[in-house]
Structure 1
Amino acid sequence: MPTSLEDWLKTLYVVFTFCTVLCFGALKSLMIGPIAALILILGNLGVILGLFPAHVAWTVYTLLKTNRFDAPLKVAILLGLPALFGIWLALSIAGSVLVGVGYGFFTPWISSFEAFRQGDESNNFYHCIVDGTWGTIKGSCTVVRDFADLCIHSYPIYLKELRENPTSNELQPLRFIHVPACIIVGLMGLIVEIPLYTAIAIVKSPYMLFKGWQRLLHDLISREGPFLETACIPIAGLTILMWPLVVIGSILMAIFTSFFIGLYGSIIVYQERSFQRGVAFVIAMVAEFDEYTNDWLYLREGSILPKPRYRKKKPSNSSEPSVGRNQSLHDRFGSIFPEAPAMLVPSLTSSRSVREAIKEVKMVQIWESTMKLCEVSGKELLNANTIAHTDLSDWLKAKHANDATIIDVGLPCFSFLHTLLNSIEAGSNGLMLFDGTEVNHLNRPQDRLLDWFFHPVMVLKEQIRVIKLEEGEIRYLEKMLLFGNDKERAKCWENGSLIPQDALRAAQIEGISRRMIGISRSVSKLPTYRRRFRQVVKDLITHSIGKEGSTKSVACSVAKQGSTRSLNSSAAKESSTRSMSARSIASIEIV
């Protein structure tokens, strides 16, 4: 509590600032929100409905052509496709509306509060009015573009990989008798999981609401967590006001995840070859969700709901260890559901200070550094005539990613390799970005999407460090990553590569190459990747045109100098000829 006049003045200033920014933010939301929301909603709806026939055709064609599924499993999936596509339409349209309204109305509001975290206090009110206006509209267009990239490029690439992959020995054939069981359990999962997940989330939402308010008010009074910095108090106050919306969002998230949990029961039937175990999974997941939310909200441990066993044997753990209360759920879902669906409870745990949060490397910083390294590597390869202007143009014109693999796969893998090599050379425990920032287990972004890639990349880096590649082997790996199966282009590139004579050594390098290509292909399917990489390719094309222009100008100047010299030499020859002829005539006259 304030004890002096100075403290009271600071408190009054913070309250006045908060109320002023709140009013300005609300006014901007009412003016900008409808425009941004309509752009995002109508754009996403156009993409969803416009590509829906193509998505159906691509999916059915892939299902018929792939060798990874046997005939009974194909029949089961075909029978379930109408329901799956119906769920896709319902969830995607509803999600577009919610995201459009939330982004359009709350982004200008939050931008008004974020303006007071700028360093220059004299321009805070100016940024409070300006920030979040045109940027929100541009952001909504960017969201539509990234969503279109996912639907137009990422999904077809995934389907193509599914068609081209050979038959896996790990997949067991499905008997026709299990087809009705898969369909029944899938429908049963939807009927059971959706209402029960919704009921559990709604029943526990009041406790989440008051528990969150209690935590935030405690941090406000004790000046901890987000309230530690005076400049961040306004936005932290907005968090208190908007906490009911966070609770509502957690309920919607629970409903959204219940669709996929319910459908996963069909996969349990396929894996376990048992209708009873599929039903047991449907029942057990309700108890798992209840237990998970109890842990997050610090209620009593366990659940009173039944939790039957639905696995014959416990599956092996994933490569990334999971600790604490999420261990059992992580074991069950594996790579498909890395974390069990739960209500969002971000502030019920102990809060970190703003200074600690600022030390984190942001995801956007990783993206920018990665793309910058791709651009620098591309310019070096262009200057060395390793890649050409036509390679870049072919990638922009290519309808599918595999039509221009040198740029689409080779260039990112080439720059990715040098990131790993630079990290190893620097002795880093993580990754050294292009700008010199180190990303390790302590300061990496707390993003679930990044978790799927960070640990495999660290394993790959350790494998490269252990085998201690020589200089010639590194050049050989560069050639394999950049050109892939294009043997003619690889032979033309004389980079000092050395093919290992040891068969084991060559197999290790080829294995590293395959894993790096697989990681790069997976990253290329993520949102925002294609938009950012497209800008890199455009910048490289500009650099290539400038390089060709400078080469032509140098060639023209050399040609001009050569023509001038030739003219001078011809004139000299002509004058000498004339003098010789005059001398000969004179000598004849004398004679």
Structure 2
Amino acid sequence: MEPPRGVLASIWNFVCFLPYFVGLLLLGNIKGILFCPLICLIITIGNSAISLGLWPIHFFWTYYSVLRAKRIGPVLKLILFICLPAPLILWPVVAIVGSVVGGILYGFLSPIFATFDAVGEGKTNEIFHCFYDGTWSTIQGSFTVVRDFMDVSLHSYLSIMDDLRQQELEDGKYYEIRLLHLPGAVVAGVLGFMIDMPMITLIALYKSPYMLFRGWHRLFQDLIGREGPFLETICVPFAGLAIILWPLAVVGAVMGSVVSSIFLGAYAGVVVYQESSFWFGICYILASLSLYDEYGNDILDMPDWSCFPRPRYRRNIVLSRTSSRASGISRPGSFRNPPSRVGSVKNPIIELKPLELLDHVFDEAKRFGESLVSEGLITPQDIEDTRSTKGGGVVSIGLPAYSLYQALLRSAKANSSGILLVGEARKFADEGDDSTELTSTNRPKDVFFDWFLNPLLIIKDQIKAENLSATEEDYLGKLVLLSGDPVRLKSPLMGPPPESERKRAELDALARRLQGITKSISRYPTFRRRFDSLVEVLLEDLAKKNSVSRPTSESQRLSKSRSIFRRVFSQRSFRGRATNPGCDQEQQQSVDGNIENV
């Protein structure tokens, strides 16, 4: 959709668009007001019950893990034992307050966004969806939020504590704290807080009027010309609410600056401890004011200048204005000459959603899981162990890691600059290419996502550099899958290992890295919920292929797994069938028959 050209065309487009926008906004607000109390109640009660119910476990297991940690020295353990009660006591309070605020925001904003999304391109029966979308889906989403919070509070937390407890010493060294430098660090931290907080507050208040009027000017300019956030229908709620609530955004920015000044100033204690010098801590306190001032200038596109000095506060790093610009502290050149927004629309870059990689992992894990079950590499005991306290490392970590390995191997063979994602949903699409390439260009703009993507790209390059043969590829895949079961690593199922000891060591290192990244991904909030659905599907597949009749005592669980099986196949794996009329009819009938036979 091209934005209008000319003053008259822009004004006419604005006049036609304004009633349309106001009507959708009012309808979305009405739904948000109606559903906000219910959604807030569900999320607050659910998350509060979880945080309070698990608090004794968190308290005991945190102390136990710190006590048994081999990487933490005795003095540091003593200090942690003294300091840990404060965050542990505050955790339920933070969880409850965060649940209330998050429940209000989600319950109010989700129906609004769904209302605008209902009239997007390619949507049918728009009037019905304007009223229906964002109602039941928001209620379902609130229960999903509670479920994911439960998974993070229980499974992810226990996994992190297990890693802390089981980490071995590297070169016989452990983390310790230098008591001599603690008094100076504490004094510098307090002094930094006392100086930075009032000064940064004054700077933020001084620049807030400029932020208010400059933001309004840009938003109204985009509204009249139907550019920027107003170009796409789904983005209209963000832009419309931004105009109305922009003063609150400015107030929030000032308050955020005040809060961040506490940590920015207290970091002077860290500088004193790291550099073993109280003078460097004083220099950092002055430099932090300059850093904040120039950062604010960059955000607001103000002149690149600060009246505060920036002394050197590191021994081996000299921060000058030139180097700071190179490191991204000052305004990049692209801010001064921004690219045309219209040109970026004409040649769009398809930006993937944050969960696209996770969707691919589970699509592939289900497909590979069925074949690995048939080959005997995954046994019924492995699947059952995932439901017990044993953990089931072969399925819970090995199978997703194996899926990632196959994606990296496929990308390395195709000389891809990123990662080729091929999901089952795309195999039923009527397209010539059923793959999507995840690169540094179209990746989700989340720092959290970079923690996983960048290491995976490095491993992909290492796999490519190894120049593996077909036998070595198969061996590495089984090594990635079965690393959670040392006994089966020595079984004949593994196949012949590489003759070179160096090659075996390199493949072992690759398998360990891939399993470590997968273990970190498994702590992502949505992972456990998707994994439970995968386990149910694999259990159903075992029951069908082996014709195993389950005991009556398990009939309830089997009924649940059947419903999950139908939902996974009908909505996730074969969603392309509903959105692509060109899908093969025989494949659809075969899928429908398989679902009915369960």
TM tier, smaller: 0.7 to 0.9
CA distance in 1, matches of 2:464, 2:287: 44
Q: 1:524-535 to 2 correspondence within 5 Å? A: 524-535=522-533
Q: Which letter does structure 2 place at the counterpart of 1:486?
A: D
The aligned counterpart of 2:100 is 97
Aligned-residue offset at 1:277? 3.9
Whole-angstrom CA distance in 2 between matches of 1:100 and 1:349: 37
C-alpha contact 2:117 2:233 (8 A) present in aligned 1: no
What is the distance in 2 between the residues matched to 1:214 and 1:96? Answer: 34
SS at match of 2:351: coil
Residues 351-406 of structure 1, C-alpha deviation per residue, up to 9 Å, x if partnerless? 575676672122233221221111111111112121122211211223xxx73211
Give the drift of 1:153.
1.7
Give the superposition deviation at 1:324: 7.9
C-alpha spacing 1:471/1:216, structure 2 compared with 1 (3 Å): same
Q: How many Å separate the matches in 2 of 1:511 and 1:519?
A: 12
Instruction: Please give the alpha-carbon distance, in whole angstroms, between the structure 2 residues aligned to 1:216 and 1:364.
Output: 30
Gaps of 5+ in 2: 424-434, 551-598
- Give the counterpart of 1:223 among 226, 231, 236: 226
Q: Does 1:211 align with 2:250?
A: no
User: Given the two structures, how large is their TM-score scaled by the length of structure 1?
Assistant: 0.79
CA offset at residue 224 of structure 1? Answer: 2.6
Mind listing any 5+ residue stretches in structure 1 that lack a counterpart?
317-322, 331-344, 553-591
Q: What does residue 370 of structure 1 align with?
A: 361
Indicate how the Cα distance of structure 1 residues 265 and 205 shifts in structure 2: closer, same or farther if over 3 A, else same.
Answer: same
Pair 1:391 & 2:389 matched: no
- Trace 1:164-183 onto structure 2 (pairs within 5 A): 164-168=166-170, 173-183=176-186
Residue 418 of structure 2 contacts residue 440 of structure 2 at CA under 8 Å; is this kept in 1?
yes
1:143, CA displacement in angstroms? 1.6
**CA 1:237–1:166: 2 relative to 1, 3 Å:** same
One-letter amino acid of the structure 2 residue matched with residue 513 of structure 1: A
User: Which of these residues, 490, 498, 501, is aligned with residue 503 of structure 1?
Assistant: 501
Tell me what 1:147 maps to: 149
Equivalent residue of 2:523, what SS?
Answer: coil
In the other structure, the counterpart of 1:480 is 479
CA RMSD of aligned residues (A): 3.5
The whole-number CA distance in structure 2 between the counterparts of 1:199 and 1:51 is: 42
Q: Decide whether aligned partners of structure 1 residues 234 and 71 sit closer, same or farther in structure 2, where only a CA change above 3 A counts.
A: closer
Q: 1:127 aligns with which of 126, 129, 139?
A: 129
Deviations along 1:149-202, one digit per CA (max 9) or x if unpaired, are: 222121221122112212345766433333444555555566666665555445
Cα distance in 2 for partners of 1:301, 1:415 equals 48
Q: Aligned letter for 1:466?
A: A
The 5 Å alignment of 1:17-36 reads 17-36=20-39
Aligned to 1:60: 63
Tell whether the 8 Å contact from 1:419 to 1:431 is kept in structure 2 after alignment: yes
- 1:72-471 equivalences under 5 Å are 72-85=75-88, 88-89=91-92, 91-120=94-123, 123-168=125-170, 173-185=176-188, 200-229=203-232, 236-251=239-254, 253-254=256-257, 257=260, 261=264, 264-278=267-281, 280-282=283-285, 284-314=287-317, 325=325, 327=327, 351=341, 359-398=350-389, 403-435=391-423, 436-471=435-470
Going from structure 1 to structure 2, the CA distance change for 1:94 and 1:265 (only over 3 Å counts) comes to farther
The alignment partner of 1:363 has SS state of coil
- Tell me what 1:568 maps to: none
Contact preservation (8 Å) 2:377, 2:493: no
Structure with larger Rg = 1
- The whole-number CA distance in structure 2 between the counterparts of 1:349 and 1:259 is 36
CA distance in 2, matches of 1:133, 1:202: 40
Distance 2:249 2:44 in 1: 21
Q: 1:58 to 1:473 in 2, by over 3 A?
A: same
Percent sequence identity is 36
Native 8 Å contact 1:2 1:8 kept in 2? no
Contact 1:197 1:289 in 2 (8 A): yes
Bigger mean CA offset, 4-13 vs 464-473: 4-13
Equivalent position SS for 1:117: coil
Q: 1:64–1:550: structure 2 CA closer, same or farther, 3 Å change rule? A: closer
**Does the 8 A contact of 2:117 with 2:234 survive in 1?**
no
Query: Deviations for 1:32-55, whole angstroms, at most 9, x for unmatched residues?
Result: 011111222232222333333322
- Go from structure 1 to structure 2 and tell me whether the alpha carbon gap of 1:229 and 1:413 turns closer, same or farther (over 3 Å shift): closer
Conserved in 2, the CA contact under 8 Å of 1:116 and 1:232? no
The alpha-carbon deviation at position 420 of structure 1 amounts to 0.4
